[in-house]
Amino acid sequence: MNTSQRTPETSGSILREGLRLISSGVAGQLVALILLSIVGRQYHEETMGVLGSFLSWGGLLAIIACGRYEQGIVVATRKEESNLLYHLALRIALYFAIGVLLPLSLCGGLFLSDSTPLGWTIYLLPLYVLLLAWYNASAQWLLRQQQYKRLAQMQLIKGVGNNLLKVLFGLLSATVGSLIAAQLLSTFIPYSHFAQALREGLRKPTEGSVKQVAKQYQGFPRYGLTQALVDNLLGSLLILMLPLQFSSREVGFLTMAIMLGRRPLQLISENLGSVYFERMSKQVRERAPLRPMVHKLIALTLLFGIPIALLLAHYMTPLVTLVVGERWTWSAYIITWMLPMLIPNFATSILNVLPDIFGRQKANMTAQIVMLVFDLVVIVAGFSFFTFEQFIPYFYLLITLEQVIYLLFLLYFVWHYERTRVVS
């Protein structure tokens, strides 16, 4: 079989399906950006800081909720196995939210609500984690079924609905409660797009088959879970630790910077990464080449990323002021120093599934832990020696270097696969 003939078709298909997801994401982000210009003028910096802490903790716990089995849905060799993994992910998330997280949140709310950045919102964490975990698992199931149109619609509804609800609730009362209510509802509304998938996923299969697939794919909770947690911490560690040294106001500036600068690019990388994940998994199953599509991704990232970053850095302050108002000037400062890191991070966000595809979760987990320790040291040292203004460039320049090294680490898996594929 001439596997080289598969590459053009695969690359074109990736571009087509990726553009379908990205176009919906871009359309959603344009609307969300317009709405965010209203949100930025409705809510104060401290209020946004609480939302940032809530989302960071919720995203972190949502990864634990499914035991990382949802990642196995796409790479499973048989359809029956992917369906069982979907059921398993939904079941574990439900048990975790009700049996573990709910009691902890109640206890934490009773004794710690006044002394944490979350405040009373800690009571709503179990519900948000469950909704987000089921949303993520269902998105993976739709991806396995190659239902890109439905997945794109789901993401569009969630993205636009989030800021639209913030605006509507903000007209009534621009409080933390309005922000959290908008977040919960915007995560729940897209459920209509995978209601049938949820019904099928929640049908109880034979207990033996669930245990068998759980054991067969135990590498995902054993290695992939830790790796995913560390990966999430790498993106949210700063916002989780910032309240230890600075006020909720600084957390709010960082939250807005993430919404304006990092989140739109992250949405594109997630959508494109979803297609890459499915197609790279298929290429590996068929022992077809990976190098062409990966090299093309790196080349396009550098070709477009560097000039766009330089242009945005020059006009960042007036752009942010125009969009969300003068009170968020500090967010423009944060985004400017964030831009260099976003270029390699875009590529790593797409390619960080390679260890899952090759079954090298343990090696990736080790690399992620080293990065997390490095980030922790950087943050603690920065808190000790720098003001907030000095800390931002210090932190993001070091993280840029870290992301470049991690990208080279991921590319090693592609090089090793191509070498062994040719030999075999």
* Domain ranges (residues) in the chain: 3-423
Whether the pLDDT of residue 70 is over 60: the answer is yes
pLDDT for residue 23: 60
pLDDT for residue 279: 82
Average pLDDT, the chain: 83
- Mean pLDDT of the region 57-86: 85
Residues 6 or more apart whose Cβ sits within 8 Å of residue 44: 174, 252
pLDDT for residue 19: 57
Count other C-beta atoms under 10 Å from residue 300's C-beta.
Answer: 12
Per residue in 179-202, pLDDT (tens digit) is 999 999 999 988 877 777 777 767
Lowest mean pLDDT among 7-21, 46-60, 265-279: 7-21
pLDDT band at 28 (very low <50, low <70, confident <90, very high): low
Helix or strand run (H / E) with residue 160: helix 148-172
pLDDT band at 423 (very low <50, low <70, confident <90, very high): low
Q: Following DSSP, what letter does each residue of 35-72 receive, concatenated? A: HHHHHHHHS-HHHHHHHHHHHHHHHHHHHHHTTTGGGH
Helix or strand run (H / E) with residue 256: helix 248-257
- Mean pLDDT of the region 322-338: 92
In percent, the amount of the chain with pLDDT more than 70 equals: 88
Higher pLDDT, 109 or 154: 154
| Predicted structure pTM score | 0.73
Whether the pLDDT of residue 143 is over 90: the answer is no
